[in-house]
Chains A and B, each alone.
Chain A
Amino acid sequence: MDILVIIPAYNEEAVIKNTVMNVMKTCPYDYIVINDGSTDRTLDILKENQFHYLDLPVNLGIGGAMQTGYRYALQKGYQYAIQLDADGQHNPKDLENLVSEIKNSGCDMVIGSRFVQKTDYKGSLFRRMGILYFYYLLYMIAGIKITDPTSGYRIVNRKVMREFANYYPVDYPEVEVLAKLAKKGYKIKEIKVDMNARQGGKSSITPLKSLYYMTKVTFISVIRSIF
């Protein structure tokens, strides 16, 4: 099989088993869970159930964990890698669509979007405003229109994996990597996906972190788009 599903997990003891089981049930692809230095029982659950996993001895953040997955995929010779969040928000039934789209369209990255077509997704007003802000920011600095730039549900080909193995932002990487890829001429496309509410555990994003996220991503993306 030439497709790898990468599941980054940090303190996801409440949901990790269900998420991995769902992936195993719904699709024939290989998967790897990246345990990002969890301090709860996530690692025990991965061991008990004999899931495939990589165990990071310290917490690297979502970017470091995802980069580990991309490097693993490269080393093992996978042609495509998909990010799927451990919290159950990404529905594995959309995996097939992401795979067929990247194979048929010849794009380098396909993003599962909540907004490219109407879905049942109902996020908070603040979150929607943030997404809209990043939509315009990306359009201004990289000239691409991505309706759901913060979506982590994405598939990339081997060319992009190589880029990510060399550089991947440590925290809040989603928007920054889109700007970088677009500037380098990679083709990015969106397709509609349904996203669930978080199936358990606690989100690590607080209002203060969101503010930091927006400021940091804006600063870094603008600086790197100019120089």
Chain B
Amino acid sequence: MGKVQIITIAFASLFLIQVVYYSSRNKLRDKQAFLWFLMAFIGIFIAVCLDWFNKIAALLGVAYMPALIFTIAFLVVLNILIYQSVTLSDHQEKIKTLVQEIAYLKHELEEYQRKGEKDESR
């Protein structure tokens, strides 16, 4: 096992520990925690099986193996970003609905209070 591989495994493991830490403290919700667990394990798998990637790169005609890993990583990150954007849009929509409901309920409450005050003054 080369120096580079040891460093890569160490960083991937640190990333896994980070995910475990956030998950255990409920800073990551189940769905998100699972996604990042998956990413962390893939990271460790790639670090452990670097030699395989050399072979895969050669099979695909990629002369420089890290370029293959970077391309895959870039595509994965891009997909995660889109997924996060979708989640964010969904949350924005929900927040908007909540804000509208609050405004409506505030209005109803004020109407009732006004009616109550009028009844009391009679």
A173 to chain B minimum Cβ distance, whole angstroms, is 13
Contact bitstring A51-89, B, C-beta under 8 A = 1, else 0 = 001111110100010011001100100000000000000
Known: A60-B96, A60-B99, A170-B96. A68 touches B104 (CB 8 A): yes
B7 to chain A minimum Cβ distance, whole angstroms, is 44
Cα distance, A54 to B106, chains bound together (Å): 8
Residues 83 to 122 of chain B near chain A (Cβ within 8 Å):
96, 99-100, 102-104, 106-107
Measured as residues with beta carbon below 8 angstroms from the partner, the interface class of chain A is 10 to 19
Q: Are A57 and B102 in contact (CB-based, < 8 A)?
A: yes
Contacts of A170 in B (CB 8 A): 96
Q: Are B99 and A72 in contact (CB-based, < 8 A)?
A: no
Residues 55 to 81 of chain B near chain A (Cβ within 8 Å):
none
Q: Are B104 and A58 in contact (CB-based, < 8 A)?
A: no
B interface: dominant SS:
helix
A10 to chain B minimum Cβ distance, whole angstroms, is 14
A49 to chain B minimum Cβ distance, whole angstroms, is 14
Cα distance, A58 to B96, chains bound together (Å): 9
Q: Are A68 and B102 in contact (CB-based, < 8 A)?
A: no
Cα distance, A34 to B100, chains bound together (Å): 10
Contacts of B103 in A (CB 8 A): 34, 54-57, 68
Known: A60-B96, A64-B96, A170-B96. A71 touches B104 (CB 8 A): yes
Select from chain A the residue with minimum beta-carbon distance to B100.
A68
Q: Are B100 and A57 in contact (CB-based, < 8 A)?
A: no
Contacts of A72 in B (CB 8 A): 104, 107
Select from chain B the residue with minimum beta-carbon distance to A168.
B96
Residues 24 to 72 of chain A near chain B (Cβ within 8 Å):
34, 53-58, 60, 64, 67-68, 71-72
Q: Are B96 and A55 in contact (CB-based, < 8 A)?
A: no
Cα distance, A190 to B107, chains bound together (Å): 33
Contacts of B100 in A (CB 8 A): 56, 60, 64, 67-68, 71
Contacts of A34 in B (CB 8 A): 103
Contacts of A58 in B (CB 8 A): 99
Contacts of A57 in B (CB 8 A): 99, 102-103
Contacts of A75 in B (CB 8 A): 104
Contacts of B96 in A (CB 8 A): 60, 64, 67, 170
Select from chain B the residue with minimum beta-carbon distance to A69.
B100
Cα distance, A68 to B100, chains bound together (Å): 6
Cα distance, A99 to B16, chains bound together (Å): 64
11 CB contacts below 8 A, A to B, read A56-B99, A56-B103, A57-B102, A60-B96, A60-B100, A64-B100, A67-B96, A68-B100, A68-B103, A68-B104, A72-B107
Could you tell me which B residues sit within 8 Å of A by CB distance?
96, 99-100, 102-104, 106-107
Which 4 residue pairs are nearest across A and B when measured between Cβ atoms?
Answer: A54-B103, A68-B100, A56-B103, A54-B107
Apart from A67-B96, A72-B107, A75-B104: 11 A-B pairs, beta carbons within 8 A: A53-B107, A54-B104, A54-B106, A55-B103, A56-B99, A56-B100, A60-B96, A64-B96, A67-B100, A71-B100, A72-B104
